[in-house]
Structure 1
């Protein structure tokens, strides 16, 4: 039987938070402004929500140590995309906006490698 201990889950969550912060800094260096991070709804979570000029950007951050099993990009499944879309709509609705009159896009920051030499792939308009 496979299982993970609570401490392993906490370590994974902490590592994920570190890579999300890394991605946030990377995007800020490319001119984006943070609007929200770890935005939750009953549908799911969006890691980062940032402003890129007049466009609201919903960002999924994925980290993988290596590209085995498809790497970080392959980790964004159709189900995950659907959850992100629903959560983004909820975010917009909360602010009195909608996807029809608000410029939005979904990006993926895919990070692979170790802490010393990560490779960053920024997929704009990923889906």
Structure 2
């Protein structure tokens, strides 16, 4: 399985995980000139921009470690673009990271970091 396939599986797992937590998925893989947002969801009165990082091992670190300052700035710009373009009304904006580890086909470990940055 290549990285793109692993990422797609991780995003589907993350979306299902959020649905199980009563989030409403608004969009997946929103793309604009500033970059891509993996999942945009609604949690009560909050709009949540979610970055999903999926790994098959921790040999090169956890996925959440890849959401560095540069990546955070890109996500913030893309989120502002989304808000200005779609004009949704939300009282809160939040950025979450979902770190998924899939070492084999049976085991999936999901860590959800709310308000990650």
- Number of residue-to-residue matches in the alignment: 116
TM-score normalised to the size of structure 2? Answer: 0.90
Residue among 64, 68, 93 paired with 1:73: 64
For structure 1, which segment, 67-76 or 102-111, has the greater mean C-alpha deviation from structure 2 after superposition? 67-76
Distance 1:69 1:18 in 2: 19
2:3 corresponds, among 1, 8, 12, to 12
Tell me the TM-score normalised to structure 1 length: 0.84
**1:1-127 aligned within 5 A:** 11-96=2-87, 102-114=91-103, 115-127=105-117
- Larger relative contact order (Cα-Cα within 8 Å, sequence gap ≥ 6): 2
RMSD (CA atoms): 1.7
In structure 2, stretches of 5+ residues that fail to align are: none
- Highest Rg: 1 or 2? 1
Tell me how far apart the structure 1 counterparts of residues 43 and 88 of structure 2 sit (CA, whole Å). 17
